[in-house]
Amino acid sequence: VLNLEAKPNDRNLLGGTSAESEKEDGSGEEANTDLGNDGDYTQWNLPENAKARLGKGSIKGMSVSPDNTQIAVASATGVWIYDAHTGEERTLLNDHITPTAKVTFSPDGKLLATGSGNRIIIWNTGTGTLIRSFKRKEAVIYTLKITDDNKSLICEGYGSIELWNISTGEKKEFMYNSSEGFNARIGEILGRRVSAIDLHINKKTNESIWAVGNEKGEIRLEDAYTGRLWKKLRGRTGRDDDVYQLAFSPDGNLLVSNTYEKPLHLWDVASGKLIKTLTQDPSLNGILEFSNDGKTLACQESSDKVELWDVDTQTRRVVLDEIEALAFSPDSKTVAGTNYKGEIKVWDINTGDELSSFNTKHIQSLGPLTYSSDTNTLVSRHGKTIRVWDTFNYTQLSDRIRFDFRSAAFVFSPKDRTITSAERFTYFKIKGLKTAYEENLSSKLSVLKTDSEDELQQLPVESRGREGQDPGKRYGRYSSGSNGVVDFSNNGYMLAAVLNVDRATKHYRFTIHLWAIPFKKSHAILKGHTDRINTIVLTPDGKTLASGSDDGTIRIWDTSTGNQLISLPSDKTRVLAISVDGKILASSNFNNSINNIKLWDISTGTQLKTLKVENESSVTELAISPDGKTFMSGHHDGIIQLWDIATGNKLSALRGHTGSVSSLLFSSDGKTLASGSSDSAMFLWNLTPTTNTRQNKQ
């Protein structure tokens, strides 16, 4: 199923072939695998210079083996193959550079196809070796499927459908994004943008059918070879009703359509008649998939629930809760699904009975990371839960610590084994009878024991401001006060939050509020910025704060007095990092046309260097080493660069993340780097020239 804004191209390319596969020889040297390891997944198939993998990353897709004994999971760190009954990790396949969003077993179970974006990899499931990889021009993959004869791979992407010969690498391509031929003719006749497509290929009869949906709610069925119009399907005449998804049944006799006006429509392809309306509130781009025998249809609601429909009777059999990804078994008797907790469950397709369940430890969301002051412990946030990791043994120290709120920032105290977490800040304004206002920025701190999850203390924090007299009754307008821009000092004694609310008064808008913990009321409000504040960073001791804004300045503050120490000219600052001693600042801006990093001497306000980032990927994170001699930059493409501060030279690069880098933390001795990414992968990196084994710790 594709969802496109482009229109179909002519189908003359159906007979054309090309050999655009990469030059791998199948030796397995181009990628890595782990088979029959000691069970410690943190050490399996690590990227170069990585010490450990603490998080497996979020789950993007899944597939069940033909014999129903294995489940393959596509994740941010590669493809994990699990025992379908016990949940034990069996294999990890990855090449450390290719994001993995889709995965599918071949019908005979001997091959596994994985990929995302512009690269697809074919693996031998018996040996774990890479057999072949294919380069693509498109950046999106919607579906992957290996044909019944195990010889070809079908890939549906944004703008094309490709048919690859697995043995030779030859490709037949079905293009949709050309402005010539059929696309131009459709544009001239209809003047309607194509919004969704699907293609059914019947290899037995050598017939192929396009289903093409447009923004007016019309669906056209066409011969893929000749372009001859077979049928027009119209659900709601006269209504502008964008078609978002189309999916043929495996035999091509049925078509299901998902449109903006809802519900789902089930069509008979031969007659063009509407058979039945199904899910009343479907997700516009959610799960929409037939089982292999075509007798069951899975439809995702606008929530995370998935409905299983009996295609013959057009009745709903089962509703499954909390589904992020789904895969039918090849025999169409069971269905496997995963949720945001990383659990995989298998259900009977007819009764909905749960047959098995296990937790994979995949993480569906990853927020900030923080080290303890001694860096023996790493803490990670996942939605409303926090996990604590032992950085020596690479183990999770406790079960997930659950909060009743989404943490905006947190800090870990190794001395008493507690976590102090700040709830998202809330802003409200009280309006008086005339021009008087009282404003309040408030949150709640929770202190929890990491070994018991007992809440030791709740501490409200607030910052008040007043303009005029007699504020009167509360003004009914609420919003997030900080918009996520919150920071704790590493020692836990200083908390800073930004107020970016446009409706705040001019004296309160674009300000930074400081609390010296455990005091409940703010001791300072930092004023000076005139536009949105995008980032703040505190030194570990909490004595100095740097802030970057859209107003074209970076400002350095003394947190004890609230005084501004210096203002530095800059573009719209996106990322900041400050050295432990507060002497050096690194910054990166929002200007996408100039991808640079700047180094500053804070004491003098002098710009020391401007470093040009060679790749086009924007800088998402910065971190300066404890000794102030090097710094790290994390990028949108997942690459982490190590730089020398004195010379401005790039020293090395760390490659292992396939999502945007979201966290970078140096250990206190500067020998280890902790990193996290938007796809929930977490790594510990070795920054010394020794090998990456636990022997380094002995």
pLDDT digits (tens, 9 = 90+) for 38-90: 568 889 989 999 999 998 888 989 999 999 999 999 998 899 999 999 999 99
Establish if 683 belongs to a structural domain: no
CATH code for position 42? 2.130.10.10
Q: What is the mean pLDDT of residues 317-343?
A: 92
> 539 and 555 in contact (C-beta within 8 Å)?
no
Cα 453 from Cα 204, distance rounded (Å): 61
648 — pLDDT class (breaks 50, 70, 90): very high
Cα 362 from Cα 698, distance rounded (Å): 29
Establish if 124 belongs to a structural domain: yes
Cα distances from 411 to residues 366, 376, 488, 516, in angstroms, run 16, 14, 6, 14
Enter the tokens of residue 136: 């693509």
Most confident of 208-217, 432-441, 464-473, 505-514: 505-514
Burial of 86 (0-12, 13-18, 19+ CB in 10 A): exposed
DSSP 118-159: TEEEEEETTT--EEEEEE-S-S-EEEEEE-TTSSEEEEEETT
Question: What is the reported pLDDT for 381?
Answer: 85
Cα 618 from Cα 637, distance rounded (Å): 8
Establish if 677 belongs to a structural domain: no
471 — pLDDT class (breaks 50, 70, 90): very low
Establish if 395 belongs to a structural domain: no
Question: What is the reported pLDDT for 443?
Answer: 86
Enter the tokens of residue 104: 């599918």
434 — pLDDT class (breaks 50, 70, 90): low
pLDDT at 224 over 80: no
612 — pLDDT class (breaks 50, 70, 90): confident
Of residues 389, 463, 461, the one with CA closest to residue 419: 389
Q: What is the pLDDT of residues 143-156, one digit of tens each?
A: 889 988 999 998 88
Cα distances from 451 to residues 388, 448, 454, in angstroms, run 10, 9, 8
Instruction: Give every CB contact of residue 8 below 8 A, 6+ residues apart in sequence.
Output: 176, 182, 183, 186, 194, 197, 210, 212
Domain count, the chain: 1
Question: What is the reported pLDDT for 590?
Answer: 66
313 — pLDDT class (breaks 50, 70, 90): very high
pLDDT at 587 over 90: yes
Of residues 533, 499, 496, the one with CA closest to residue 515: 496
> What is the percentage of the chain residues whose pLDDT exceeds 90?
42
Q: What is the mean pLDDT of residues 169-185?
A: 58
113 — pLDDT class (breaks 50, 70, 90): very high
3 — pLDDT class (breaks 50, 70, 90): very low
Establish if 667 belongs to a structural domain: no
Task: Find the range with the poorest average confidence among 56-70, 211-225, 343-357, 419-433.
Answer: 419-433
Establish if 682 belongs to a structural domain: no
Establish if 105 belongs to a structural domain: yes
Domain extent, residue 75, equals: 21-168
Q: What is the mean pLDDT of the chain?
A: 82
Question: What is the reported pLDDT for 424?
Answer: 83
pLDDT at 273 over 60: yes
> DSSP state, 317?
E
pLDDT at 10 over 80: no
pLDDT at 640 over 70: yes
Establish if 140 belongs to a structural domain: yes
Instruction: Give every CB contact of residue 184 below 8 A, 6+ residues apart in sequence.
Output: none
Cα distances from 436 to residues 202, 431, 474, 503, 506, in angstroms, run 73, 6, 11, 14, 13
Kind and range of the H or E run holding 182: helix 182-190
Strand order in the sheet with 334-338: 325-328, 334-338, 343-348, 354-359
More confident residue, 244 or 642: 642
Q: Is the peptide bond before 626 cis (omega within 30 degrees of 0)?
A: no
If phi over 0 gives left and psi between -120 and 50 gives alpha, with beta otherwise, what is residue 641? beta
Most confident of 466-470, 571-575, 640-644: 640-644
Q: How far is CA 233 from the centre of its chain?
A: 36
Cα 191 from Cα 59, distance rounded (Å): 39
Q: How far is CA 467 from the centre of its chain?
A: 43
> For the whole prediction, is pTM greater than 0.95?
no
Enter the tokens of residue 292: 């292999």
